[in-house]
């Protein structure tokens, strides 16, 4: 009853992210009411495993009273004062705590309100720096198809999920897209090694043809998350960085999803991919979703030639009322303390082989074309024909069909067209990983039966 009332209010008034205009006002979203550990409870009172971890972010799980208490204490002590004119003990400490965990000399932290604003800040900083260095023509950002970097004008402009670009305007003159880096979609007969060389050539050729004096930065997620958990071939990021260095192009690693433990490390760039970028953007797992916060973390070196005596009086006029908000900073500090105290990074590293084995085993199901992932991130991609790798004619709905079956069985899935992506809370146990994949397997089998019944597939 209550959830029916909430659903009605929601349908009338709450415009959600990625709102379908066709379905506006028709409602139908789940009403998430309570959550604890790795489970979210909907209006029907039944706890279900949270497969997507909220939105790739609930690292330490739900219902952590000590995070709530840290936030409540900070709200009473000093909820807010202007970050333009002051600092606060929690936000200054958090900046230092982040800098201690970043690779190389990425020691300067600009706080934002989330991932999009962290990416926007990174891009604006790169432009600002080039203007100060007298390189006003060096402004193009190279990015990749299937990337997702956010929903502000500039972060959306460097995002490359085709369907999301429909009906919007973008800063097209500033952006160049490289083709898909998904090894699963490589041309037939091409080895992964040859595919890697081709992808590296895509980057270097783009820089050469646009002109290195016009290219400012390359931006890349270590693993393309909402593009379908695309893991590029081994060595890709390290060698992309070498190409960038050769042409004086900055490398921005968008670790909004991979940061804060998803791959078993504070940041993945150096620990997993063996490279130290110039800028890292982060958000989500920084507070485990308990409060909105993002961070754009910049190499000291990038400030050296534009600050102090070299500054020409310039001001980096970029900022938000809530940059480094004390209540969010208190949540982040407590979240980091919990990750450390409970050994959550080690737990992720220990659990990863089992998670990835269970994920890979789903590849035996006839509906599944590819399974891929790393750390506690995974994706199942369904296809009509495994040899031709054709997406299903019903590709819009197959993830939804799997989700509907899994929900009945006790698991929330994040459907993305013909894919389902997973990033459960990092505290998930070995047995809970088994429960999650048992349900998913059953959900895929039931969906296959549905498709056979509808005549979309033969058994
Ligand atoms: C890699 C990446 N960058 C940026 C963003 C944008 O973050 P936010 O939604 O916090 O603005 C996201 C969101 O999913 C993301 O996955």
Instruction: State in Å: Cα 390 to ligand 1 middle.
Output: 28
Best substitution site from 17, 58, 117, 149 to test ligand 1's pocket, by max atoms within 8 Å of Cβ? 149
Q: Output the CA 150–ligand 1 centroid distance in Å.
A: 5
Q: Which atom of ligand 1 is nearest to the CA of 116?
A: 11
Instruction: Give residue 317's pLDDT.
Output: 97
Q: CA 200 to CA 146: how far, in whole Å? A: 17
Residue 151 gets which letter from DSSP? Answer: S
DSSP secondary structure letters along 77-100: HH----TTT---HHHHHHHHHHHH
Residue among 66, 57, 37, 64 at smallest CA distance from 431: 37
Give the pocket of ligand 1 (CB within 6 Å).
114-116, 119, 148-150, 221, 225-226, 254, 256-257, 283
pLDDT at position 389, please? Answer: 79
Give residue 434's pLDDT.
Answer: 98
What pLDDT does 112 receive?
98
Q: What is the pLDDT of residues 389-439, one digit of tens each?
A: 777 766 667 899 999 999 999 999 989 888 999 999 999 999 999 999 999
Tell how far the Cα of 279 is from the centroid of ligand 1, in angstroms.
Answer: 16
DSSP assignment of 333-351: HHHHHHHHHTTHHHHHHHH
Cα of 23 from ligand 1 centre, angstroms: 24
Give the Cα separation of 355 and 374 in Å (integer): 9
pLDDT given at position 324: 97
CA of 225 to the centre of ligand 1 (A): 9
Distance 386 CA to ligand 1 centre (A): 31
Rounded CA-CA distance 387/128 in Å is 48
Answer yes or no: are the C-beta atoms of 396 and 13 closer than 8 Å.
Answer: no
With the most atoms of ligand 1 within 8 angstroms of its CB, the residue from 123, 150, 153 to mutate is 150
Q: Could you tell me if 151 and 212 are in contact, meaning their C-beta atoms sit under 8 angstroms apart?
A: no
pTM, whole model, 2 decimals?
0.97
Q: Tell me which residue has its CA closest to atom 7 in ligand 1.
A: 115
Q: What is the pLDDT of residue 28?
A: 83
| C-alpha 282 to ligand 1 mean position (Å) | 9
217 Cα to the center of ligand 1, angstroms: 19
Alpha carbon nearest to ligand 1 atom 8, residue? 115
β pairing state of 250-254 and 279-282: parallel
Q: Which atom of ligand 1 is nearest to the CA of 283?
A: 10
The Cα-based distances of 458 to 83, 349, 389 in angstroms read 61, 40, 16
Confirm if 268 and 276 have CB atoms less than 8 A apart.
no
Q: Which atom of ligand 1 is nearest to the CA of 224?
A: 1
Low-confidence ranges of the chain (pLDDT < 50): none
């Amino acid at each position: 009853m209550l959830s029916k009332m909430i659903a009605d209010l929601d349908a009338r008034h709450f415009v959600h992210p990625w709102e379908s205009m066709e379905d506006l006002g028709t409602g139908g979203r789940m009403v998430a009411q309570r959550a604890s550990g790795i489970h979210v409870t909907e209006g029907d009172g039944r706890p279900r495993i949270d497969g997507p971890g909220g939105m790739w972010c609930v690292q330490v799980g739900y219902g952590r009273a000590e995070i709530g208490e840290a936030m409540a204490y900070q709200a009473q002590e000093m909820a807010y004062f202007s970050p333009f004119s002051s600092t606060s003990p929690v936000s200054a400490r958090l900046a230092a705590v982040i800098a201690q965990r970043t690779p190389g000399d990425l020691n300067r932290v600009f706080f934002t309100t989330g991932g999009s604003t962290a990416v926007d800040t990174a891009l604006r900083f790169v432009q600002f720096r080039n203007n100060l260095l007298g390189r006003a023509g060096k402004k193009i950002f190279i990015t990749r198809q299937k990337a997702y970097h956010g929903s502000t004008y500039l972060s959306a402009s460097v995002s490359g999920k085709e369907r999301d670009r429909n009906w919007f305007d973008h800063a097209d003159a500033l952006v160049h897209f490289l083709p898909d880096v998904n090894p699963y979609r490589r041309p037939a007969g091409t080895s992964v090694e040859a595919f890697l060389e081709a992808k590296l050539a895509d980057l270097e050729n783009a820089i050469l043809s646009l002109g290195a004096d016009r290219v400012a930065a390359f931006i890349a997620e270590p693993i393309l998350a909402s593009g379908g958990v695309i893991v590029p071939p081994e060595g890709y990021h390290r060698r992309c960085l070498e190409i960038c260095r050769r042409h004086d192009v900055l490398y921005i690693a968008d670790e909004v999803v991979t940061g804060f433990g998803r791959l078993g490390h504070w940041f993945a760039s150096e620990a997993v991919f063996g490279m130290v970028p110039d800028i890292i953007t982060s958000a989500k797992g920084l507070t485990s979703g308990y409060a909105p916060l993002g961070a754009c973390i910049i190499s000291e070196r990038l400030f050296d030639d534009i600050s102090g005596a070299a500054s020409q009086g310039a001001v980096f006029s970029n900022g938000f009322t809530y940059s480094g908000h004390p209540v969010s900073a208190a949540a982040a500090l407590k979240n980091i303390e919990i990750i450390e105290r409970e050994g959550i990074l080690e737990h992720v590293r220990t659990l990863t082989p089992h998670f990835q084995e269970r994920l890979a085993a789903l590849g035996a199901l006839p509906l599944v074309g590819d399974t891929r992932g790393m750390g506690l991130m995974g994706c199942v991609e369904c296809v009509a024909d495994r040899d031709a790798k054709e997406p299903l004619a019903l590709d819009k709905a197959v993830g939804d069909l799997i989700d509907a079956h899994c929900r009945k069985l006790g698991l929330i899935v994040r459907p993305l067209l013909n894919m389902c992506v997973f990033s459960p809370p990092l505290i998930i146990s070995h047995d809970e990983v088994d429960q999650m994949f048992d349900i998913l397997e059953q959900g895929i089998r039931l969906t296959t039966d549905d498709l056979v019944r509808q005549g979309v597939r033969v058994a």
